[in-house]
Amino acid sequence: MEKRAHISGWTLPLLLILPQMAITVIFFYWPASQAIWQSFLREDAFGLASEFVGFENYVALFEQPEYYRAMGTTAIFSSLVAFFSLAVALLLATQADKNIRGGHAFKTLLIWPYAVAPAIAGVLWMFMFHPTLGTLGRPLNVMGYNWNPMLDGKDAMILLVLSATWKHVSYNFLFFLAGLQAIPKSVIEAGAIDGAGPFRRFWTIIFPLLSPTTFFLLVVTIVYVFFETFGIIDAVTGGGPAGQTTTLVYKVYADGRLGGDLGGSAAQSVILMVIVIALTAIQFRYVERKVQY
């Protein structure tokens, strides 16, 4: 009979989780508590003097039309990036899962973009789609399309969506590919024997079995769009033109670091944190019902 190790007492388990708990407290709970406290203060640009003002920062924030515009921009940007990054990654994963020549090199190349820093990814796409110097942007103008992401808000949003999607497709592709490889081939073969075509096998067999992976990636992608796209926005548009690509996370930086409104910036970060937590809770409450484990 196989012997099992038994741990007596709580000392060893506590020591094992202590490093992770320390990281969580130092890099999440402590900064979050500081942001909540600062959101009730009015501070100078250098943070040397402060005054308790209660909810004035929140009241002033919701009186700004620019904040509501940033909310709308964030909703559009996050929806587009989440949809395209998941759809393209799933398409690429289904193709990579096939027995094709050079499949390993194909998979490796698709994973590489995830190693690129967000700011670098933004600069790369800005160089490619620069209206006068870009290898792809200049031909668009030559062909008659007035492409200028520096002056046109729609062009700037398109460029940001392309950059953010390209950056995150690799991450989604990796998990989708792992999910596809975990599906038993016998199940798919049984569907083929029953007469189901490739399209029907995908939507009735493969995609439902991928629903746990899809749900996980949906949550991760939403968090990515809300927080990790800051570097792309800062490198590509800087929130412009005329604030048309300013998202909630970039407005936190613009008002706090550039505008010197530390209290208002802290209030925005608290609201952003609440929005992300609420969206995640809604996804777990309603979307997870359709997940088949």
The DSSP secondary structure of 103-114, one letter per residue, reads: HHHHHHHHHGGG
In this predicted structure, the answer to whether residue 279 has a pLDDT above a threshold of 60 is: yes
d(CA 90, CA 78): 18
Distance separating the N- and C-terminal Cα atoms of the chain: 32
Q: What pLDDT is attached to residue 99?
A: 78
User: Cα-flanking dihedrals φ and ψ of residue 257, to 5°?
Assistant: -80, -45
Q: Is residue 4, in this structure, part of any structural domain at all? A: no
Q: Is residue 98, in this structure, part of any structural domain at all? A: yes
Q: Is residue 208, in this structure, part of any structural domain at all? A: yes
In this predicted structure, the answer to whether residue 2 has a pLDDT above a threshold of 70 is: no
Taking the CA atoms of residue 249, residue 253, residue 259 and residue 261 in that order, the dihedral angle to the nearest 10 degrees is 80
Domain count, the chain: 1
Task: Please name which of 261, 276, 239 lies closest in space to residue 70, comparing C-alpha atoms.
Answer: 239
Name beta bridge partners: 43.
Answer: 50
In this predicted structure, the answer to whether residue 275 has a pLDDT above a threshold of 70 is: yes
Q: Is residue 197, in this structure, part of any structural domain at all? A: yes
Under DSSP, is residue 144 helix (H, G, I), strand (E, B) or coil? coil
In this predicted structure, the answer to whether residue 206 has a pLDDT above a threshold of 70 is: yes
Q: Is residue 169, in this structure, part of any structural domain at all? A: yes
Q: What pLDDT is attached to residue 59?
A: 92
Q: Is residue 21, in this structure, part of any structural domain at all? A: no
Q: Which residue has the tokens 């929806």?
A: 79
248 within 8 A of 74, measured Cβ to Cβ: yes
Which 8-state DSSP code applies to residue 261? -
Q: With bands split at pLDDT 50, 70 and 90, how would you rate the model's confidence at 5?
A: low
Q: Give the type of residue at 53.
A: V
Domain housing 180: 63-289
Q: With bands split at pLDDT 50, 70 and 90, how would you rate the model's confidence at 204?
A: confident
Mean pLDDT of 48-65: 89
Q: With bands split at pLDDT 50, 70 and 90, how would you rate the model's confidence at 76?
A: very high
d(CA 151, CA 137): 14
Q: What pLDDT is attached to residue 6?
A: 65
Q: Is residue 56, in this structure, part of any structural domain at all? A: no
The pLDDT tens digits for 81-137 are 999 999 999 999 998 888 777 777 888 888 888 889 999 999 999 999 999 888 999
Q: With bands split at pLDDT 50, 70 and 90, how would you rate the model's confidence at 212?
A: confident
Mean confidence (pLDDT) of the chain: 88
d(CA 111, CA 178): 13
* Number of Cβ atoms within 10 Å of the Cβ of 43: 20
d(CA 224, CA 115): 15
In this predicted structure, the answer to whether residue 221 has a pLDDT above a threshold of 80 is: yes
User: Concatenated DSSP letters for 74-90?
Assistant: HHHHHHHHHHHHHHHHH
pTM summary value: 0.87
Name beta bridge partners: 293.
Answer: none
Mean pLDDT of 1-17: 73
Q: What pLDDT is attached to residue 202?
A: 86
Q: Is residue 207, in this structure, part of any structural domain at all? A: yes
In this predicted structure, the answer to whether residue 226 has a pLDDT above a threshold of 80 is: yes
d(CA 171, CA 88): 11
Q: What pLDDT is attached to residue 12?
A: 82
Mean pLDDT of 150-171: 94
Q: What pLDDT is attached to residue 123?
A: 93
Under DSSP, is residue 43 helix (H, G, I), strand (E, B) or coil? strand
Tokens of 76: 């559009």
CATH code, 252: 1.10.3720.10
